[in-house]
Chain A
Amino acid sequence: GQNIDQPTEMTATEGAIVQINCTYQTSGFNGLFWYQQHAGEAPTFLSYNVLDGLEEKGRFSSFLSRSKGYSYLLLKELQMKDSASYLCAVVGGSYIPTFGRGTSLIVHP
């Protein structure tokens, strides 16, 4: 089975940087995804890591350490529209993405 842990809620100020952590335990590993989900909407893809290291895409970056079972999503130059839930999803040996409970990010002025 899989166990995925991420903080329930975080708050940050517009223009700042925030790091959302995700730790996991899994049987087999075939990648880790981050999705963004605004309230009442569908999750949308942000990033994918399968090898150790940092993947950068504009204001968003994602890091993976397979040996530590650890990932983080880094959001820079926060905007009000970044207020959303951020979902960490791990693909294990079954090739089925398993999601964490999500981190609700609140960005305030």
Chain B
Amino acid sequence: GAGVSQSPRYKVAKRGQDVALRCDPISGHVSLFWYQQALGQGPEFLTYFQNEAQLDKSGLPSDRFFAERPEGSVSTLKIQRTQQEDSAVYLCASSQLGGGGEKLFFGSGTQLSVL
């Protein structure tokens, strides 16, 4: 596609509900990152995929957070039993290769509000 696409754009969940956030990276991009951005803060790293392999998940805040990229393209971030502190914008970014010295292309994010 032309850019990184994320859906839904906005998600309201009741505390305790499970949510699934989708990211469609730029076609052919090897690397995919998930970040969490609280209001007025910079993006905080959650997890990193190179193709279908999840190479780093050190930023996932708890075992309620799970991410997958089964075919090396679309990725889903799942949050189980959502809590109010999970409210944030979840950003997905992709880059062409897997070296680290490349610019990231970001999606517009999913704004999650947990009530």
Decide whether A and B are members of one complex. Answer: yes
Nearest to B91 among chain A residues (CB) is A42
Interface contact A98-B106, CB-CB below 8 Å: no
State the Cβ distance, A35 to closest chain B Cβ, in Å: 8
The answer to whether the Cβ of B109 comes within 8 Å of any Cβ in the partner chain is yes
Interface contact B106-A95, CB-CB below 8 Å: no
Q: A31-B101, A48-B101, A50-B101 are in contact. Are A96 and B106 (CB under 8 A)?
A: no
The answer to whether the Cβ of B1 comes within 8 Å of any Cβ in the partner chain is no
> With A and B bound together, what is the CA distance between A50 and B107 in angstroms?
25
Interface contact A99-B104, CB-CB below 8 Å: no
| The one of B40, B42, B45 that contacts A96, using a Cβ cutoff of 8 Å | B45
Interface contact B104-A30, CB-CB below 8 Å: no
Interface contact B42-A33, CB-CB below 8 Å: no
The total of Cβ contacts below 8 Å across the A-B interface reads: 58
> With A and B bound together, what is the CA distance between A33 and B104 in angstroms?
9
Interface contact B43-A96, CB-CB below 8 Å: no
State the Cβ distance, A53 to closest chain B Cβ, in Å: 16
1/0 per position for B13-32, CB-CB distance to A under 8 A?
00000000000000000000
> With A and B bound together, what is the CA distance between A44 and B108 in angstroms?
10
Residue among B44, B101, B109 with most chain A CB within 10 A:
B101
Interface residues of B in 33-86 (CB under 8 A from A): 33, 35, 40-45, 48, 56
Q: A42-B106, A42-B109, A43-B106 are in contact. Are A98 and B101 (CB under 8 A)?
A: no
Interface contact A95-B41, CB-CB below 8 Å: no
The answer to whether the Cβ of A91 comes within 8 Å of any Cβ in the partner chain is yes
The answer to whether the Cβ of A13 comes within 8 Å of any Cβ in the partner chain is no
1/0 per position for A74-109, CB-CB distance to B under 8 A?
000000000000010001001111111110100000
Interface contact A42-B99, CB-CB below 8 Å: no
> With A and B bound together, what is the CA distance between A100 and B44 in angstroms?
9
Interface CB pairs A-B, < 8 A, 5: A4-B42, A41-B108, A96-B33, A100-B42, A104-B40
